Amino acid sequence: MRTIALLFLSAVLIIPAAKSADVQRVVILKVDGLPDHLLQRYVNETGGPGREGHSRLPWIQHVFSQNGVWLENFYSRGLSLSAPSWSLLDTGRHLQIRGNVEYDRYTLRVYDYLNFLSFYFGYPISRHIDMPGVELMDEAGIPLLIDRFPYEQRFQALQTLQRGLRLHSFPGVLKRAVAASSPKDFLDEWQLGLPWVGSLYRQTEADLIRNLKDPQVRYLDYFTGDYDHIAHLTADRVSQLHALEDLDALVGRIWSAIAASPLAAQTALVLVSDHGMNTSETVYSQGFNFVDWFNSSAGGAHHVLTNRHPLTEFKLKGLDPFVSEVITPSPDSAYLAGQAAQYPTVMLDLDGNERANIGLRNNTFNVVQILLDQVIQKRLPGTVRSAALSALFLTLDKVRAEWRRDLDDLTEELTALDARIDAQQKLVDAQPKKWTKSEISLGLDKDARREAVRLTTWRTERRGYSEYATIIRRLLALTPADFDPGKFKMDELIPPKSLGPLNSLWDLQHYVTGRASGGLVLSEDGSLDWDHSFRTIDYLSTLRSISVRNNVQSEMSPQPVDFIAVRIPRETLAASLPTQDQPDRDAVLLWRDAAHQALILVRGGELRYLPVGVGLEPAAWRPGLPLELFEDPQLQIPASERQSWLGQWHDERAWLEAVHRTRYSNGIISLPEELLDPPSRMDDPLDRYRERKRTLRRTDLLLLANDHWNFNVRGFNPGGNHGAFFRESTHSVLLFAGGKDSGIPMGLRVETPYDSLSFVPTILSLMGRPEADLPGPVIRELVKPR
């Protein structure tokens, strides 16, 4: 009787524990650029002779399709680019990174998020301990998913948001590479992704499998860019299928290793991609070179700043993996000839894909520098000189109050930064000079290096911003009464290597690129004739009007640019919009041409798509507007109700359910994610300083490419691209499978649409660690309410 009672008591204690078991370990396979539609195609396709009835991707079919959870409609949010997309997936927070490279507008400090080799090779001798994207997240106080696990409980492969580096893997990598490759093959990887990265992946896989045997390790991830590399290079079915077959074999090896591991029953295997890929076997992706265009007279004769050498395959110096700043001078520069190193006037993310982020030097800088150049270096007739001086000070008067307020705010922020630097110096000085094996095993030595990096970064920032502020204050202090052009050099009044403040919409449509061919001209009243004295470009209409004459593919438009997106300050909309349409933050203007433009408005948690006219006043719905929602047959709103539904405010969930199958997918949600920030009131100077740095990484124009066009000036991608909001580019992959006690369903297909912000909260909820303040919804079909 006593034995029966003990058995009954044991059952009572054990059964509830099994029912409430959480995932105790997560293994994440991160696959760059993998599109859901292609993966499903080959999972459902059976093999050739001898493999009839068997999937071409048998392991993925077995693990995820038959015995796991497949999200049919999972989408990248924001631009479908690697650095922004992985930043969302790794943090679960709204975008901090908006391109694969960003530059600070005041100092042109580079944030080169994808410069892997510079990080890997420089790691032993550099003070940097993390990839640039991770440093940015730390500065913003945003943890990564991996940061929820103690150092000794995690294994991370090499990837975009790399937290530290485990150097003990590299000897194995070199042994594999040398054994399998010739020296030429080893070098070719920098260009094409060939053998030695294969050695790196194989060694990382071996390390991951070894760590699966350790029950202490609870977070493991593995990154592969093989498919993305192949799909960019070729649209060939066989080549892309081979890359997927290699992925399938990897899934099989890792799933088998999980099954043999101590925590098999409570382990979740997750396969996720950052974005899709717009690739077609019948279309050769066509590239357009914006470096050359901006260098040309038609584009403004700019000196162009990029993070890599354009068309690297044609240059030996393009092999340099450590470069993050390249200036391509314009041979046609009107007033900055020979000054490219000092005064680049356009910045461009060279890894363009289906979009280009364009930063233009502040238009007022251009006007002031042209006028200063005339009065300092040219012998002008007295009346023209007098008019030029009047125009110079009139130009400065228009911005003087705003720029002085900005400098006053910056001074207050830098004063607060000084105190922080002093405190940080004491913290760094107090760090141990040597570390025990136990401390190293806990990552404490790496934490100390991070503190030293922060100190160095803050000192560099402080110096750069101070130099900018000093020059701008000197410029604003000029007065007509005591202005003596002989006192100054140009770089004492116009900050070198700086784009200055963002441009307004008016500036972008009246952008000054030099003097007019006839020089400075006077009006009848003796003042400067602005219209005839300067050469200007309307960048919105000019960029959209670019057309090529050598397009031989009927599937492609001869115009590379589809539409343009520009941030519009909220205060400029007060007069043009009715009260019911006033947003609570800045808006996004989508511009295809004067007759086809619209605003995306944000208020609280709701969005509104509003067609507008030339003055940004509301206009009627019509076909051909950017995103083409009104006429898209896949819009999940009946035709009879579309105009009414589209004319209202809706929350993101309603928008995503309505638009995710359209040609431009979730673009209406992603554009505000990319261009806008949530409203905030920041009284603390250091909070304002962090917000300033985020604002200064912004660009002026976001160009979206027409279908199958790309702006990847580093080396045009003939196979396929991503970056825009085409559904092929945004439709990514999210699959789950788990052990018998993980609680993950088997054979479940989820049709409800979700996006990147749902990834981290879902993983944490599966592991019994939900965080209420994450903005994205948990995937409820996968995580049942407790």
The SS3 call for residue 770 is coil
pLDDT at site 380: 87
Task: Return d(Cα 585, Cα 344) in angstroms, integer.
Answer: 31
Task: Return d(Cα 77, Cα 776) in angstroms, integer.
Answer: 11
Reported as type and span, the H/E element at residue 611 is: strand 606-612
The amino acid that residue 710 corresponds to is N
- Indicate the pLDDT class of residue 568, thresholds 50, 70 and 90: very high
Count the Cβ atoms, other than its own, within 10 Å of residue 331.
Answer: 9
Read off φ and ψ for residue 590, nearest 5 degrees: -105, 120
Closest-CA residue to 664 (of 628, 630, 704): 628
User: Residues with Cβ < 8 Å from 84, sequence gap 6 or more?
Assistant: 78, 95, 97, 98, 99, 100, 674
pLDDT at site 107: 98
Read off φ and ψ for residue 481, nearest 5 degrees: -65, -40
Tell me the mean pLDDT in the region 315-325: 69
pLDDT at site 550: 84
pLDDT at site 679: 73
Reported as type and span, the H/E element at residue 763 is: helix 759-766
Count the Cβ atoms, other than its own, within 10 Å of residue 145.
Answer: 20
Q: Which two tokens stand for residue 366?
A: 């251009």
Task: Return d(Cα 95, Cα 757) in angstroms, integer.
Answer: 10
Do 746 and 66 touch, CB atoms closer than 8 A? yes
Q: What tens digit of pLDDT does each residue of 23-42 get? A: 999 999 999 999 999 999 99
Triad 535, 539, 542: Cα angle to 5°? 90
Do 730 and 670 touch, CB atoms closer than 8 A? yes
pTM (predicted TM-score): 0.92
- Indicate the pLDDT class of residue 324, thresholds 50, 70 and 90: confident
Q: What tens digit of pLDDT does each residue of 359-406 get? A: 999 999 999 999 999 988 778 898 999 999 999 999 999 999 999 999
Do 528 and 521 touch, CB atoms closer than 8 A? yes
Q: Which two tokens stand for residue 660?
A: 């995710």
pLDDT at site 197: 58
Say if strands 154-155 and 219-224 run parallel, antiparallel, or are unpaired.
Answer: parallel
Count the Cβ atoms, other than its own, within 10 Å of residue 209.
Answer: 18
CA 349 to each of CA 160, 326, 346, 462, 604: distance values in angstroms, whole numbers, following the listed order = 16, 11, 10, 25, 32
CA 97 to each of CA 83, 128, 641, 762: distance values in angstroms, whole numbers, following the listed order = 7, 19, 37, 22
Q: What tens digit of pLDDT does each residue of 639-671 get? A: 999 999 999 999 999 999 999 999 999 999 999
pLDDT exceeding 70 applies to what percent of the chain? 91
Rg (CA), the chain: 28
CA 115 to each of CA 163, 450, 674: distance values in angstroms, whole numbers, following the listed order = 14, 19, 22
Task: Return d(Cα 564, Cα 582) in angstroms, integer.
Answer: 22
Task: Return d(Cα 605, Cα 621) in angstroms, integer.
Answer: 23
pLDDT score of 17 more than 50: no
Only one residue has tokens 């052009």, namely: 485
Conformation bin of residue 323: beta by default, left when phi > 0, alpha when psi is -120 to 50:
beta
Task: Return d(Cα 497, Cα 361) in angstroms, integer.
Answer: 10
Burial of 529 (0-12, 13-18, 19+ CB in 10 A): middle
Burial of 703 (0-12, 13-18, 19+ CB in 10 A): buried
The amino acid that residue 780 corresponds to is R
Only one residue has tokens 């909001």, namely: 725
Q: What tens digit of pLDDT does each residue of 139-163 get? A: 999 999 999 999 999 999 989 999 9
Only one residue has tokens 């040219």, namely: 378
Do 169 and 159 touch, CB atoms closer than 8 A? no
The amino acid that residue 548 corresponds to is V
The SS3 call for residue 601 is strand
Do 232 and 721 touch, CB atoms closer than 8 A? yes
Q: Which two tokens stand for residue 95?
A: 């975008």
Q: Which two tokens stand for residue 141?
A: 């106080």
The SS3 call for residue 621 is coil
pLDDT at site 3: 43
DSSP annotation of 2: H
Kindly list the structural domains of the chain, giving each domain's residue range(s) and its CATH number in brackets, ordered by start: 21-84+156-166+199-281+726-766 (3.40.720.10), 361-542 (no CATH), 546-707 (no CATH)
The SS3 call for residue 528 is strand
CA 405 to each of CA 401, 454, 469, 506: distance values in angstroms, whole numbers, following the listed order = 6, 28, 12, 21
pLDDT at site 124: 73
Read off φ and ψ for residue 235, nearest 5 degrees: -95, 5
Do 513 and 536 touch, CB atoms closer than 8 A? yes
pLDDT at site 428: 96
Q: What tens digit of pLDDT does each residue of 280-289 get? A: 999 999 999 9
pLDDT at site 675: 97
User: Residues with Cβ < 8 Å from 656, sequence gap 6 or more?
Assistant: 75, 666, 669, 753, 755
Tell me the mean pLDDT in the region 557-572: 96
Q: What tens digit of pLDDT does each residue of 408-467 get? A: 999 999 999 999 999 999 999 999 999 999 999 999 999 999 999 999 999 999 999 999
Q: Which two tokens stand for residue 481?
A: 């009464």
pLDDT at site 436: 94
Closest-CA residue to 279 (of 224, 236, 245): 236
